[in-house]
Amino acid sequence: MAISKVVNGSIAACDGVKSGMTLMLGGFGLCGIPECSIGELVRLGIKDLTCISNNAGVDDFGLGLLLQQRQIRKMISSYVGENDEFERQMLSGELEVDLIPQGSLAERCRAGGAGIPAFYTPAGFGTEVAAGKEVREFEGKPHILESALTADFAFVKAWKGDTAGNLIYKATARNFNPMMAMAGRITIAEVEELVPEGTLNPNEIHTPGIFVQRIFQGERYEKRIEQRTVRNRETASNA
């Protein structure tokens, strides 16, 4: 008999998340972020969180909501633009920040999920990223040792999922979500559409259900555009 991993919304999904934990949150910019789960984390009011995410959202959306409430103690990220509150807290020393090259961040999450404790990469050598890290040469090129990343909870957002936790991401949302889904001790998936097990084409599944412990269908996704660029009619007609 199949085991259903469905829980009743974000409140049940976030059960057991406590202050001081390390959380992974999928997404790229505002695309593919676990909006409903973040909203519940804000409501819970837990603090001293270490958050691993490509970026920190914007001031009034995504992880920016947790930053507003001073719930994040440390951010492990790749890109930190678009968020004035993040900048203010970082420059004032209120927020600890570990900036990682984007490819290295993705691979550190993937390595954590694959059970690989560390790996060597040339990215970051000769910069502050390499400070205090072991360096070895491979084929005459220096590489630095990067450790894997894991989390107490990983929160991911998918387009479709089934009751067994199998996930399909749509377009750009297939970014950090697959790697982070592997690296959480408990992985929570929120989906736009939840279907019965056996409905999804096995050849199209991006994250197998074995990596997911809880799944729920979210509601009222905003699907914001981070930077809206438009042209006036005259410019468009002359293009």
**Is residue 37 one of the residues assigned to a domain?**
yes
Residue 229 located in a structural domain: no
Q: Is the pLDDT of residue 159 over 80?
A: yes
Answer yes or no: is 112 within a domain.
yes
Helix (H) or strand (E) segment spanning residue 202: none
Enter the DSSP assignment of 171: G
The closest alpha carbon to 32, from 211, 200, 176, belongs to: 176
Whether 89 shows a pLDDT value over 70: the answer reads yes
Tell which residue, 67, 49, 40, 27, has the closest CA to residue 157.
27
Confidence of residue 238 (pLDDT cuts 50, 70, 90): low
Summarize the confidence of residues 105-129 as an average pLDDT: 96
Burial degree of 38 (CB within 10 A; 0-12, 13-18, 19+): buried
Per-residue pLDDT band at 236 (split at 50, 70, 90):
low
Q: Is residue 134 in some structural domain?
A: no
Range of the domain at 177: 9-117+148-217
Domain assignment of residue 225, yes or no: no
Domain count, the chain: 1
Check which CATH number belongs to the domain holding 38 and give it.
Answer: 3.40.1080.10
Residues 171-222: tens digit of each pLDDT = 888 989 999 999 999 999 999 999 999 999 999 999 999 999 999 999 877 7
Q: What is the pLDDT of residue 83?
A: 83
Query: Could you read off the pLDDT of 33-67 as tens digits, one per residue?
Result: 999 999 999 999 999 999 999 988 888 888 999 99
Window from 17-26, 60-69, 134-143, 210-219 with minimum mean pLDDT? 60-69
Whole-model pTM?
0.90
- Residue by residue, what is the 3-state secondary structure of 50-99? EEECCCCCECCECCHHHHHCCCEEEEEECCCCCCHHHHHHHHHCCCEEEE
Task: Let me know if residue 131 belongs to a domain.
Answer: no
Q: Is residue 29 in a domain?
A: yes
Decide if 238 is inside a domain.
no
Q: What percent of the chain has pLDDT over 90?
A: 78
Q: Is 143 helix (H, G, I), strand (E, B) or coil?
A: strand
Instruction: Identify whether the C-beta of residue 157 lies closer than 8 Å to the C-beta of residue 173.
Output: yes
